[in-house]
Amino acid sequence: MSVDRRRFLGTASASAALAGPLGFARADAPSQAADGRPPVTDPRATSGDTRHAPKWDERFTLTVGTDAGDLCGKDQRVLQAAVDTVARMGGGTVKLLPGTWRLRNAVTLCSNLRLLGSGPDTALVKEPSATSKLAADSDWYDQEITLADPSGFRVGDGVCLRAKNPHHGGPTVIKRTLVARAGNRFQLDKGLRENLWADGTPTASTLFPLLSGEFVTNVTIEGLALDGNKAHNAELDGNYAGCIFLQDCADIGIRKVIARDYRGDGISWQICHDVTVEDCDSRGHTGLGLHPGSGSQRPVVRNNRIAGCHIGLFFCWGVKYGLAEGNTIDDTQTAGISVGHRDTDNRIRGNTVRRSGQAGILFRPERGPGFTGDRNTVEANTVVDTGGDDAAAVDVQGVTAGLVFRGNVLRETRGPARRVGFRLGKDAKDIALDGNTVEGFAAAVDDRRKK
């Protein structure tokens, strides 16, 4: 597995720089190799060459509708059939016509895919979730489960299996698909690889991301609406799901997507590189609006609207060399933008954060030196009306170091109370404040390093 992953990531990162609008290697941008090799000026389709390819005038395309199109249907099965057909062709476009599809499982993406909707009238809606206790033990080598109440479950459903791990007491979370049934026994698409024993109170729930990708590259998702139907679903956090959930992917473009009302995250990507999310609307989630996840390198998060989430834009662990620009983040329960564990060398520029519940921009304390979100530049952002009477618009915690705050506007319109513009924790260091405007606070800067 580790060899496959390294091979995948190496190929993906190499092809990312030349990916074109179809999500394939692009021939119209010759590159000069760093080692002095001549540029590629006349590429051919050569087996195994993912870095350079001709620019084709036409690629394979399937249209999908509820009543018209190459394929017709009203649930995830027709969408998955279209994606799988494109995968067999080596890539292409799935064009979704206006309509509503109700999902009982995730649509699993493939590499070299353009998944294009027709705008907000193309809607994918998660069906209500069902939950049951497991009625019998399953061992790690098993490929089946037994449900105490199978009434809300069907063959083909995506399920999340959760339990307390019997060996160390931590959580066990497994995502699978039900592929066969006999009474209350269901076969799974893959083995468990974890023990689900009665003393860990295991459960199964029909929970899954609406769109899911693992180990895929060169994917565009554009022009559709994803509805998590949170009023009728249990929660599954953003390390496993969301309206869109990606794991170990590269060169992904997500544009003009509406992600709403997921009981978890809106759009989450974990260990995914060169992901661009722009002109999207992510709102009403119980988790995070946008979640560049652990280890994700060079994300671009631009011109999105985020509202009504627990946290708006959450930099997870080790997110580096990213750009967050021109986003509008409103009415979060806690932080508008949160940066922490080894999230270094990012630029946060030109964003507007309004009415955050606790902090407009937060740098988390983490564990100590070497763990904090250091060497980030925060410039030309606007933060308005943050938190309660003791809140800070920008809160730098722990030993966070090497931050530059330049040309930001921090504004409080509700009255100063005990609110401050910048709060610099006692252990923070090398913090540069340059040309910022701070209005309406009890104090522009609460610099606890001097105490």
Residue 51 has pLDDT above 90, yes or no: no
Q: Does pTM top 0.95 for this prediction?
A: no
Pairwise CA distance, residues 297 & 312, whole Å: 19
Overall CATH class of domain 131-205: mainly beta
**Which of 167-176, 400-409, 436-445 is least confident?**
167-176
Q: What confidence tens digit (pLDDT) does each residue in 123-138 have?
A: 999 999 999 999 999 9
Q: What confidence tens digit (pLDDT) does each residue in 76-108 have?
A: 999 999 999 999 999 999 999 999 999 999 999
Residue 12 has pLDDT above 70, yes or no: no
Residue 167 has pLDDT above 90, yes or no: no
User: For the structural domain made of 61-125+208-450, what CATH number should be given?
Assistant: 2.160.20.10
Pairwise CA distance, residues 30 & 39, whole Å: 6
Residue boundaries of the structural domains of the chain: 61-125+208-450, 131-205
Q: In which residue are the tokens 């609008």 written?
A: 21
Instruction: Provide φ and ψ at 234, rounded to 5°.
Output: -80, 170
CB atoms within 10 A of CB 242: 33
Q: In which residue are the tokens 């009982």 written?
A: 104
Q: What confidence tens digit (pLDDT) does each residue in 193-221 have?
A: 999 999 999 999 999 999 999 999 999 99
The string of DSSP codes covering 272-318 is -EEEEEES-EEES-SSEEEEE-TT-BS-EEES-EEESSSEEEE--SS
The C-alpha angle 63, 66, 68, rounded to 5 degrees, equals: 55
- pLDDT for the residue numbered 26: 43
Is pLDDT larger for residue 53 or for residue 228?
228
Query: Could you tell me which residues come within 8 angstroms of residue 369 by beta carbon, excluding any fewer than 6 positions away?
Result: 399
List, edge to edge, every strand of the sheet that includes 131-133.
131-133, 203-205, 158-164, 171-182, 185-188, 144-146
Residue 42 has pLDDT above 60, yes or no: yes
Reported as a pLDDT band with limits 50, 70 and 90, residue 17 is very low
